[in-house]
Amino acid sequence: MSAAIELGDITVTWDSPKGAMTVLEGFDLSVEPGSFVAIVGPSGCGKSTILRVLAGLLEPQSGHVEVGGISAIGRPGLCAWMPQHDALLPWRTVEANASLGAEVAGLDKAVARRNAAEILARLGIGEVGDRWPSELSGGMRQRVAVARTLLSPAPVLLLDEPFGALDALTRREVQSWLQQVLDSETAPDGQNRTVLLVTHDVEEALLLAERVIVLSNAPARIVADLHVDFPFPRANSLVADKRFVELRLEVLQALGIE
């Protein structure tokens, strides 16, 4: 089975006032179809850069990038990408923002809007569908952005700190909801969608992902690649499990945090 995501020998260098800075250098990553992989690492190590490269929004200086066996270099649209900021369009209502990705992909507008209304209700914000983004709190805007990403039919989801603007309680609720949604979805080939999550929250990574990749400081290299074998769905109480605590410590040690 070919990989859903394949990064090979990727190099990305930024120009900065202090000179060229290499964020990724000879970086490799392969992700199997239908898997949920989380990436954690220090700030500025290149986590978001990896997602931008996969989204086709940033061309590396060298290497190859494939999504479903198709080159993603300079080719947006192969993945559904949720950036750190919600990026809601101020001239579209909440429901219209949530349905945008599905509409762009060619889904009938009425169907896309009905799907958006349903997913917004499941996220606990169904009553704000006719409002404007400017009328929402930061946490509510973030939930709309999550809905928009999940409603995209793309087989690969790229989530960049998707729950960062949520309070702790809402964050746990949305994490549980995300597990339920992804578990209930299957593509025509019978596979679940592939998810690549960037997060600073080690517990979040271990609660949601089957595999946790730990990166070093830039230029990023993989310093740990952990398999998380707890069955799904995972309850929030799992954080107290002995094995969970051991994995959390392993990730923190890989990050250099004692």
Q: Minimum mean pLDDT among 31-35, 91-95, 109-113, 182-186: which range?
A: 182-186
Instruction: Work out the average pLDDT over 166-177.
Output: 81
Query: What share of the chain has pLDDT > 70, as a percent?
Result: 96
Read off the pLDDT band of 112 (50, 70, 90): very high
pTM of the model: 0.91
Q: With bands split at pLDDT 50, 70 and 90, how would you rate the model's confidence at 184?
A: low
pLDDT at residue 188 is higher than 50: no
Span 61-102, pLDDT tens digits: 999 999 999 999 989 989 999 988 888 999 999 999 999 989
154 vs 138: CA distance, rounded Å: 26
What are the structural domains, with CATH classification, of the chain? 1-77+196-258 (3.40.50.300)
Q: Region 149-156: what's the mean pLDDT?
A: 91
Query: Looking at residues 127-143, what average pLDDT do you find?
Result: 90
Residue pLDDT, tens place only, 10-66: 999 988 777 788 999 999 999 999 999 999 999 889 999 999 999 999 999 999 999
How many CB atoms are closer than 10 A to CB 51?
23
In the predicted structure, residue 191 carries a pLDDT above the cut 90: no
